[in-house]
Chains A and B, each alone.
Chain A
Amino acid sequence: MGTPSAGQIHRLGRDQLASWVDALLGERKRVFAPVLRRGLRVLRAVERAQDVDFAPGRTRWSPKEFLFPRTETLFSYENRDGVPVLADPPADDVPRILFGVQPCDAAGLVRLDSILLQDPFYARRRELTTVVAIACSEAAPECFCTAVGGSPAGQEGVDVLLAPLETGWVVRALSPKGEALLAPRRGGWETAAAGDWEAALEQAGRVAGSIGRRELPAAWAEKLEQSFADPIWDELARRCVGCSICAYVCPSCSCFDVADEGSDACGSRCRTWDSCSFRLFTQHGSGHNPRATQPARSRQRVLHKFAFYPLQHGGRAMCVGCGRCIRSCPVGMDIHAEVVEVMSGRPEKEAGDVQR
């Protein structure tokens, strides 16, 4: 074993992962990791490694809330001599680590970056966050990362990748942030054996091969953009109840509402997650609603993710195939199936809902 250096791949025993987490907590870093709560696997700020569920796999919610909170105050104000004087919310500058998220969730953060980095609150948290992902060891029936350019050992948005071995973990830094996180540990960690990393990737390849959901046909974004007037949207959306759980569990949905609370004397402005599936999303102050029906809203959701966004962002869908929306939908909507169905060469009908 030579002198540990940047770029080196390490091999950790099972217990070493826990001691690493404890060491990070000891350095006053905030660690968000999967824990089991009332039967659900969720990401939480942990206080000791013992609480962490290190198994690979999906958490109920995506990690986006730790960078883009469900609700956050943008400013508060107080009326002083008739003038509202603004105050910023308290700054929170603790470095944080998303530990043990899935590679698709890390990719989801990259999608959020493309929209939200212009926001100073998000940008600050993003800067303070290091992402440690765990490669998937099995695919759930809803998974389709491979259809949208990801993989069970995907590296997009990942600072440090952990992959399960039979006897422990292989660890590799993939970014300068990841290097910085590993640097203090390298001395005490064993260098991976030749072939460890390849073995981990092979395992991920097998997981990818087990994903049953199809890849998308060529030129999917362009084709979908042409599907606006297809009556299939009415059919597909008939079931949708507009609950928007799909947007809430989504690692890449970034739309938000702005709510002003309080009175003339004092109050605050909050930002909360919002969804294009809600009727009020597009309703004007006057009551007029240019997107008044559920099929039109469902179409907007799918086309934004699979047509408008990719055509403006280098061909990447605003979807990472995590499958949470499919898993959570109360009426069994399936965004992957919808996309495939819209594109599956159904006979082109007369543009039924074109008015003019």
Chain B
Amino acid sequence: MSERAAAAAPTPNVTRTDPMQPAPWRVVRTEPETHDAFKLTLAPVEAGPPFTFEAGQFNMLFAPGVGEAALSMSGCSGTVDRVVHTIRAAGRVTKTLRTLKRGDVLGLRGPFGKPWPVGLAEGRDVLLVAGGIGLAPLRPALCHMLEHRERFGRVNLLYGARSPQDILFAKEIETWRGRFDVSVEVTVDRAGADWHGRVGVVTTLVPRAQFDPANTVAFICGPEIMMHFTQRELERHGVPDESVWVSMERNMKCGVGFCGHCQFGPLFVCKDGPVFRYDRVAPLLGIREV
């Protein structure tokens, strides 16, 4: 990406390889996803080297004049000519990104971070456990598994949202449900009388999934407390810590491991993560305010 950024710079000098320089990307499509989440589809403004990313990686998206935010990609991974982000409008930058229209240009640098180890899941049963907007970074992993379905054992998606109105990818979830080769379970924390699905925390879905605990890989993404309790539930079902992976979230400024903001004990979430094997972060997750 930095090469592309440098190509845009009129006076090339020392910053040629500066990882802090975003490249211009154009919004080719915007879609509301829920009442507070939306989807942005982006294409590079300039011709450049192909954009390749792996499931679970993130970009720094730059709203000129407002700022940058670290956001996971939700589109299918690989070498792509479009980058898809599903974003919850939570802060200043993401709220600005929501106002963008087709044709607008924003800045993008990335991809950054360690991805979900989808290769390790081959030949094994899979549990994808998502809480809230945490489904977005897991979508590329599911996408990859459905594309190469024969390589994986039983694939389970367990998804918990706050309310029926907060369910991401609602249409796609229906499509996945229609497939016989993936099991999809959804629950919400609270719902009105018009909700006929499950109510309860996402951990209550674990007993409904079919997996061989000794030969399973679990990817979890959601609030820290949700990941913690999901891991406990998996442990109860016999899934060892070494088979569990979580994706962490921290405030990030540089994305490449030197601004210091995302430090999580000795780890930098941006470059050592955001995806970590559970046993690596377990001691830290147990400490208040690491």
Return the chain A residue nearest B10 by Cβ: A87
Q: What is the CA–CA distance of A85 and B21 in the complex, to the nearest angstrom? A: 11
Q: Are A256 and B287 in contact (CB under 8 A)?
A: no
26 pairs, A vs B, C-beta closer than 8 Å = A79-B64, A82-B105, A83-B105, A84-B64, A84-B107, A87-B10, A115-B258, A118-B258, A120-B14, A120-B17, A258-B253, A260-B64, A260-B68, A263-B64, A264-B65, A267-B65, A269-B20, A274-B260, A284-B91, A285-B90, A285-B94, A285-B251, A286-B90, A291-B289, A296-B288, A312-B266
Return the chain A residue nearest B223 by Cβ: A288
Contacts of B66 in A (CB 8 A): 260
Return the chain A residue nearest B254 by Cβ: A258
**Interface digits, A280-296 against B, CB 8 Å rule (1 contact, 0 not)?**
01111111001111001
Q: Are B62 and A75 in contact (CB under 8 A)?
A: no
Q: Are A257 and B266 in contact (CB under 8 A)?
A: no
Q: Are A283 and B251 in contact (CB under 8 A)?
A: yes
- Residues 251-305 of A at the B interface (beta carbon under 8 Å): 254-265, 267, 269, 271, 274, 276, 281-287, 290-293, 296, 300, 303-304
Q: Are A258 and B91 in contact (CB under 8 A)?
A: no
Q: Are B258 and A254 in contact (CB under 8 A)?
A: yes
Return the chain B residue nearest A292 by Cβ: B289
Q: Are A311 and B266 in contact (CB under 8 A)?
A: yes
Q: Interface on chain B toward A: helix, strand, loop, or mixed SS? A: loop
Using A260-B67, A293-B289, A354-B288 as known contacts, say yes or no to A119 and B258 having CB atoms under 8 A apart: yes
- Residues 36-93 of A at the B interface (beta carbon under 8 Å): 74-75, 77, 79, 82-89, 91
Contacts of A255 in B (CB 8 A): 259-261
- B160–chain A nearest beta-carbon distance, Å: 18
Q: Are A83 and B24 in contact (CB under 8 A)?
A: yes
Return the chain A residue nearest B267 by Cβ: A308
**A229 in the interface (beta carbon within 8 A):** yes
Contact of B261 among A91, A281, A285, A307 (CB under 8 A): A281
Q: Are A287 and B91 in contact (CB under 8 A)?
A: yes
- A121–chain B nearest beta-carbon distance, Å: 7
Q: What is the CA–CA distance of A225 and B228 in the complex, to the nearest angstrom? A: 22
Contacts of A91 in B (CB 8 A): 13-14
The 8 closest A-B pairs by CB, nearest first: A285-B91, A255-B260, A296-B289, A286-B90, A308-B266, A263-B65, A258-B253, A91-B13
Q: Are B14 and A87 in contact (CB under 8 A)?
A: no
- Residues 181-226 of B at the A interface (beta carbon under 8 Å): 224
Q: Are B10 and A85 in contact (CB under 8 A)?
A: yes
**Interface digits, B1-31 against A, CB 8 Å rule (1 contact, 0 not)?**
0000100111111111110111010000000
**Interface digits, B273-290 against A, CB 8 Å rule (1 contact, 0 not)?**
000000000000111111
- B224–chain A nearest beta-carbon distance, Å: 8
Contacts of B249 in A (CB 8 A): 284
Using A91-B13, A286-B91 as known contacts, say yes or no to A267 and B21 having CB atoms under 8 A apart: no
Binding site for A on B (CB under 8 A): 5, 8-18, 20-22, 24, 45, 62, 64-69, 90-94, 103-105, 107, 224, 228, 249-251, 253-254, 256, 258-261, 263, 265-266, 285-290
Q: Are B260 and A261 in contact (CB under 8 A)?
A: no
Given contacts A86-B21, A115-B258, A262-B65, 16 further A-B contacts (CB under 8 A): A82-B104, A84-B24, A84-B105, A118-B256, A228-B290, A257-B259, A258-B68, A260-B66, A263-B64, A284-B90, A287-B90, A293-B289, A296-B288, A308-B263, A353-B288, A354-B288
Q: Are A308 and B288 in contact (CB under 8 A)?
A: no
Contacts of B90 in A (CB 8 A): 284-287
**A116 in the interface (beta carbon within 8 A):** yes
Contacts of A269 in B (CB 8 A): 20
Return the chain A residue nearest B289 by Cβ: A296
Interface contact tally, CB-CB below 8 A: 159
Contacts of B263 in A (CB 8 A): 276, 300, 304, 308
Return the chain A residue nearest B24 by Cβ: A83
**A346 in the interface (beta carbon within 8 A):** no
Contacts of A290 in B (CB 8 A): 224, 250, 289-290
Return the chain A residue nearest B255 by Cβ: A258
Q: What is the CA–CA distance of A115 and B263 in the complex, to the nearest angstrom? A: 13
Q: Are A88 and B253 in contact (CB under 8 A)?
A: no
Contacts of B24 in A (CB 8 A): 83-85
Using A77-B64, A291-B290 as known contacts, say yes or no to A282 and B251 having CB atoms under 8 A apart: yes
- B76–chain A nearest beta-carbon distance, Å: 26
**A355 in the interface (beta carbon within 8 A):** yes
Q: What is the CA–CA distance of A225 and B290 in the complex, to the nearest angstrom? A: 12
Q: Are A121 and B15 in contact (CB under 8 A)?
A: yes
Q: Are B288 and A260 in contact (CB under 8 A)?
A: no
Which of A84, A264, A265, A291 has the most chain B CB atoms closer than 10 A to its own CB? Answer: A84
Contact of B286 among A263, A281, A311, A356 (CB under 8 A): A356
Contacts of B20 in A (CB 8 A): 74-75, 258, 269, 271
Q: What is the CA–CA distance of A256 and B261 in the complex, to the nearest angstrom? A: 8
**A214 in the interface (beta carbon within 8 A):** no
Q: Are B13 and A260 in contact (CB under 8 A)?
A: no
Q: What is the CA–CA distance of A291 and B261 in the complex, to the nearest angstrom? A: 11
Contact of A254 among B105, B107, B260, B286 (CB under 8 A): B260
- A113–chain B nearest beta-carbon distance, Å: 12
Return the chain A residue nearest B23 by Cβ: A86
**A124 in the interface (beta carbon within 8 A):** yes
Q: What is the CA–CA distance of A255 and B11 in the complex, to the nearest angstrom? A: 28
Using A75-B20, A290-B250 as known contacts, say yes or no to A86 and B91 having CB atoms under 8 A apart: no
